[in-house]
Amino acid sequence: MPELWYAIVVLSLAAYVVLDGYDLGAGALHLWVARNDSERRQVLGSIGPYWDANEVWLLASGGALLVAFPRAMTAGLSGFYLGVFLILWCLVGRGVAIEVRSHVEEPLWRAFWDVIFCVSSALLPVLFGVALANLVRGVPLNADGWFQLTLFTHFAPTPPVGLLDWYTVLAGVFALVALTAHGATFLAWRTDGPVHARSRRAARVLYAALVVLWIALTAATIAVRPEFLAALPQRPLALVAAALAIGGLVTVFVAGARGRSLAAFLGSSGFLAGMLVATALCLFPVLVPAIEGAAGRSITAYDGGATERGLAIAIGWWAAGFPLVLAYFFVTYRLHRGKVKVRAEDA
């Protein structure tokens, strides 16, 4: 049962990154691909039917963690206290910016909320990337299973560590570029006109940079935690996920060059999902890894806090609710299919 719930948490997180990832990428990119108010409303219109529903996957991931692995959830929330509040502020900033920017027809008002939308959307991938890198690197868990991180110490991924060091910052930059590139492929698929053309160009540049950053981050991970990638060849599902990531990346370049925007977006989705699933499978069964010097203190799926009976009851509720979520997303994407165009009176 712990293995099943580990898979549910990982798949929920992957769904969040793929789905809300294009929202975040579009927001971080929209000041560059949209040059006037009508084009910016075109960008907002492309994510408008989906963005709030996509964020539900983050809540679903947190709920699954709380139900299945409460010990890991509480340790993570307390240890990443500052990061959690920054994430909440960014989520609030994005939501408010989307909802209120068009309430007042004043250029300064709209420009202000456009900047808030852009900055909040750009900061979230950085914060998520930094958090994931902290888990890959390891955190200073004490004997009671708690940890506390300052913002930074000596900026190296060796004890005593902080939230930020050169490795976690590199991962944050990688996450920003990855989701911004993902957002560019989404906008290229969902828009037409100048926004479509600029998004295609942005996707080419960003994905070229992403390849370089991925190689650099992989090399850094080998240096910081050699045993992490050493587990990859012994885990067939992780190899499949890694192949999905590589195949998705190849698809982005091939489909993008041929102007097949939907295929490029699906390739981008495959890259993100494959990379995250491969990362989780290399960590399994560890949920909160202890850094060097705190050996034996890592929190795993087998000592995450929930009982077998509790997990069995929860899986029944999940099995009832998950098909409803899939049906909702199917209907939403079906109803809002097609490109978002600039209206003639706005052009």
Residue 107 domain-assigned (yes or no): yes
Taking CB atoms within 8 Å and a gap of at least 24, the contacts of 231-238 are: 231/282, 232/278, 232/282, 235/281, 235/282, 235/284, 237/277, 237/281, 238/277, 238/278, 238/281, 238/282
Residue 343 domain-assigned (yes or no): no
CATH number of residue 133's parent domain: 1.20.1630.10
Cα separations in angstroms, 50 against 31, 53, 76, 123:
20, 5, 28, 20
183-197 as b/e, with b when 16 or more CB fall inside 10 Å?
bbbbbbbbbeeebbe
Q: What pLDDT, on the 0 to 100 scale, is given for residue 3?
A: 87
Residue 316 domain-assigned (yes or no): no
In angstroms, what is the C-alpha Rg of the chain? 20
Position 212 confidence tier, pLDDT thresholds 50, 70, 90: very high
Range of the domain at 150: 2-309
| pLDDT digit string, tens, across residues 188-210 | 999 988 999 999 999 999 999 99
Position 182 confidence tier, pLDDT thresholds 50, 70, 90: very high
The answer to whether the predicted template modeling score (pTM) of the entire model surpasses 0.85 is yes
Residue 328 domain-assigned (yes or no): no
Interacting residues of 170 by C-beta distance below 8 A, sequence separation 6+: 133, 213, 216, 217, 220
The CA-CA-CA angle for residues 202, 203, 205, to 5°, reads 65
- Angle, helices 193-224 vs 37-47, to 10°: value is 60
| pLDDT digit string, tens, across residues 40-97 | 999 998 988 888 888 888 888 888 888 888 888 888 888 888 888 999 999 999 999 9
Domains: count for the chain: 1
Work out the number of other CB atoms within 10 angstroms of the CB of residue 269. Answer: 24
**Is residue 73 classed exposed, middle or buried when 0-12, 13-18 and 19+ CB atoms within 10 A define those classes?**
buried
Q: 191 phi and psi, to 5 degrees?
A: -120, 170
Position 296 confidence tier, pLDDT thresholds 50, 70, 90: low
Q: What pLDDT, on the 0 to 100 scale, is given for residue 80?
A: 87
Residue 253 domain-assigned (yes or no): yes
Share of the chain above pLDDT 70, in %: 97
| pLDDT digit string, tens, across residues 33-45 | 998 888 899 999 8
Residue 263 domain-assigned (yes or no): yes
Which two structure tokens, joined as six digits, stand for 246? 């590589």
Interacting residues of 306 by C-beta distance below 8 A, sequence separation 6+: 5, 67, 68, 69, 70, 314
Residue 326 domain-assigned (yes or no): no
C-alpha 167/C-alpha 39 separation (Å) is 37
Residue 322 domain-assigned (yes or no): no
